[in-house]
Structures are given as structure tokens and as C-alpha cells.
Amino acid sequence: MLKFIREHSKSRPVKIFLSFLALSFIVSFGISALIQKITGKDYIVKIGKIKISPIEFKIEKARRLGMLRGHMSDANEKDMTANILHQLIRENVIDQAALEYGIIVSDETIKKYISGIDMFRDKDGRFNANLLRGFLQKIQVPEAMFLESSKNDIKNTLLKMPFIFVSIAPEFENFTCASLEKRTVVAVELRPSSFNVVENPSPEESEEFFGNNPDLFTINETRSFRILELPESSLEKNITVSEEEIRDIYDRSPEKEDSSYENMKKEIEAGLRQERLQTEANEVTRQIEDALMAGDDVTETAKKFGLNILVVEDVDADNKNKKDEDVLAVPYKSDILAVAFSVDDGGDSSFSEAFDAKGERVYWLLHIDGITPKHVASFEESSDKVLKEWTSRKRREKAEETASDLVERIKAGDNLISLARKSGYASVITQKFDRFGKLEDEKNTKFKNIIEEIYEDAFTLGKSEANFKKTDEKFVVYQVHDVVSPGEIGKEDEEKYQRELRSEIVDDMYQQLISYLSKKKYEVKINHDLLKNIDENVTQNQLDDMF
């Protein structure tokens, strides 16, 4: 047949036959691929000109997970899809950058690189291939993958090389000296709640305070609504699966050669039940939505379909009522609030899925019963809150005045330890910290919260100088107690720190390059919808945080 076609390839009948054959091939095998390409569904991720298809990603994921299996928990495995995708993106970005910059890793280079690894050398310092094979067998990594990983490491190192020379410019030594300096401070915490206010505002002062601070007495928009909840378990009584159906699926399963009917029966039955349960849920929720859209009474509809009803009244977007109490006790309250504040008054939402406190799947929708717009309460309604807020403001003013007074007295020659003792305040001396807020003894976190608040400002002051920092909850008065210069740290520690800091700077600069290349040079596009089909556990935040 093939010989005949070759001999008569220029004849009209053979040309027609070949055209028909080609068309049949496209119709049979090429249309779906063409549609996928046109609609952008032919890749999970695109890095520059490189596309990784869904099947390629599935194979790569299975391969990498297979090597890690047994070394991680189920919880860690759920995070692996995003991690593997991140690795593939990074590897392809590095490959394309290396190719563009003319970095080609030869077999000889890889050989020298691997033979230089100590764990693959014998006692005489010579490379031993058996040690390498034993290592790969132990960690269950194919040799080809190890070689590819080694090649990637070499490209990484070569691409990083320019930053090593940038980071050891003359200014680096000055920077490391400044970075090595450590400090301790004496600190006193002043909490406004500890200051006593005995006076009450006059009626005129109360009204003036109310008028000048409308934001303190603004009541946020509140909504009242009913949650209609359909437990999935209430639908299970309508689901039936026959022995014949299970047997039929088993007989058509390609896995029956490796597993008996009894072994697969439960799995098949569970799959059928879940599929029919989903179909039943879709049908029932559609009927409920149609009934409500037609104007049926919410309570009667809930009773007809056996729905649970939870009534929520006057709740704001932060899940608080007039008494500032949390009113939603369901695990998916954030989803409820998001929906509740996006539906019009008297309207109904569509059904959503969630899990209740027992971990059971539920379908729920909301009916909005009433909306109270954002407004400022009247003076009469706010009288109690006016007194509370006025008193709180006075306490904060007293705390700030005290903090300012302590700083002024320190400037006049006093020190914070003696001032605190005379005034009855508790003072503390923190451990040493650097200009980045890093503690000398990271295990000792006793004063970590104080250091986190003042470390940046503390490095703008000289020894014995003082200032105060105000936060929402307190005022921290602090005085620089001791300044430890780099010369007091020791030559060996200083050199070690410089090496670590240089390495951090180089890694950070290199990461910035990879991030730039991923966003600008070799634009990375992730097909989120297809990725969700592969692993529904992947979150948008994981994808957004990749680069």
C-alpha cells in the first residue's frame, strides 16, 4: 500500500486520498488541540515561549511526588502542587536566561562539578561512581534527574556570579560595620488604661466633643438576614446504587486486572454515591432558587425543602451587632458576610458550598430582610459612648504628657531607671539587638515586643539619649543604655557576620533578577482554571506569592 502511494504520489486520485486522510487525522486528533490552543487551555503555565501542558505537568508532579512520598505528611503534600509549579517556573526562567547570556553547561563541566562533591569521593579523595549510585538509589532519584538538577545548580551559580563582585564594593565594609553595631535600651511602658481620670465633662464639653469627633460615633451599615442551610446528609436518603451498576463499572475498569471486585466495590460505590449526591444537590438547590425567585415565602420554602434557618439581625461587615458581640457562630462566617453585603434589600443570594462545625458539607443561601445605612447616631443615643470616649481620650493625653515629661527630664540630665523608680513605674533593660531588630539571643523573646516597636528609632539616637513611641495600646519611653561597636564583637565573629551578610545580599539581588525576568523578560502566565482542575487545594494567594 505504502509502495503504491509513493509510486503514484503525483496522481490526482492519490492526492485526493491523502488530502482526505489528512483531514480525517485533523478531525480525529487535531481539533481538540487546536481549540485548546485558541482558547489558551493548552498549557498550565507559560514561561516566555515555553509552555507546560496539563499532561506534562501531571507527569512531572507525579514524578516529583513519587520521590518525596514517605518523607512528608498529607498536609505537606497538599501544598506540593504550588511548590512544584514554582520550581518548574524558576528552572525554566534560569534555563532561558542562561541560554540568552551564552551560558552552556557541557558534560565535562557537570562531571567536574559532581566529582568535586566530597560525599562522592573515596578516602583517597578520588571520585567514586559507586558512591554516587548508592546515594541516588537511597534517595530514589533517577540519574538523569540528578544530572539535570546539577546542571541547574551550575547555571544558578554562574548567573549569580556578577552580584558577588557588586556586593564586595568598598562601601560594603562600612555597611557591615554599621550593621554589626548592637544596642540595649532602658524602656518603660505607659498604658493609658492605668491613668486615673476622676473628672467628668460638662454638658457643653460633651456636646463639643461629640461634634468634633463624628467618626467615633458613626454606626456602620448593618444588615439583617436569614441563612437557609441545606445539609448534604439530608439528601443521602434519596441516593441508591445497585449491585449491577457497581459490577458494570468494575467490568469496564482497566484496573480490574490488578484488583478484585471485592477490593474495588466500596470505592466504586462511594464514587457513584458522591456523583449522584452532587447531581441531587444541584437539582434541589435549583428548585429552591427558582421558588424564591418566583416570590415564594422564605419560611414556607425552608419548611418545604427541610432547610435549617439561622436568623441574624443588625450585623455589620465585621460581624458585630450593637453590643459589639460576634453573632455568627458558623465556620464559614466570612463567606456569609461577603455575600450578605453584596445582595440588595429583599434579595436572595445563589447557593454556595461550605462545611459546618462537624465537618459536614452544607449548601446555603441568604435572604436579606433589611438594611440600615451607615449613619451618625444622635447625641442622645451616644451619651454613654461620649463619656467613655472622652475619658479614654483624657487617659491617653495624660499618658502622652507623662511620656513627654520623662524624655525632657532625661535631656536635663536624669536617667530613665531612677526616674521610673521615683515615679513608681517598672523599667526594663532589653537584651542586645541590631539595627534590623534582630536579637542577640533569639531564644530569649522576653522583650521582643518592645524591641520590635522602637529598634529603628533607637539607632537614630546616641548613647543616653531618649525618646518615646506611641502605639494604639501604649506609650514606650526608652533611653539608649549601651552601644556595642563592631570592634568589641571580635574579629572572627565579624568575619563570619560579613560572610553571612554578603551571602544574604547576593541571594537577595539574584532573587530580584529572577523575579524581574519572570515578570518582564520571560513573562509567566498561569492558567488558574486548569490548575484548579488538577489540584483544588491550590489557593490564589500561593500563586500570587510565587514571584
> Could you read off the pLDDT of 111-160 as tens digits, one per residue?
888 888 888 888 888 888 888 888 878 767 778 778 887 888 888 778 77
pTM: 0.48
- pLDDT tens per residue, range 452-476: 999 989 989 999 999 999 988 899 9
Q: Which three cell numbers stand for residue 531?
A: 490548575
Strands (E) in 373-409, as ranges, are 375-376
- Percentage of the chain surpassing pLDDT 70? 81
Q: How far apart, in whole angstroms, are the C-alpha atoms of residue 400 and residue 74?
A: 52
The identity of residue 488, as a single letter, is: E
Does residue 449 have a pLDDT over 60?
yes
Does residue 34 register a pLDDT over 70? no
Read off the pLDDT of each residue in 516-541 and give the average, rounded to a whole number.
72
Which of 361, 315, 308 shows the shortest CA–CA distance to 340? 315
Confidence of residue 33 (pLDDT cuts 50, 70, 90): very low
Distance CA 131, CA 367 (A): 69
CA distance 129 to 109: 16
Characterise 283 by phi-psi region: left (phi > 0), alpha (psi -120 to 50), beta (else): alpha
Task: State phi, psi for 435 to the nearest 5 degrees.
Answer: -70, -5
Q: How far is CA 110 from the centre of its chain?
A: 36
For cell 546539577, the residue is 150
**In contact, 154 and 109? CB cutoff 8 Å:** yes
Determine phi and psi for 432, rounding to 5 degrees: -70, 145
pLDDT, averaged across the chain: 80
Total residue count of the chain as it appears in this document? 547
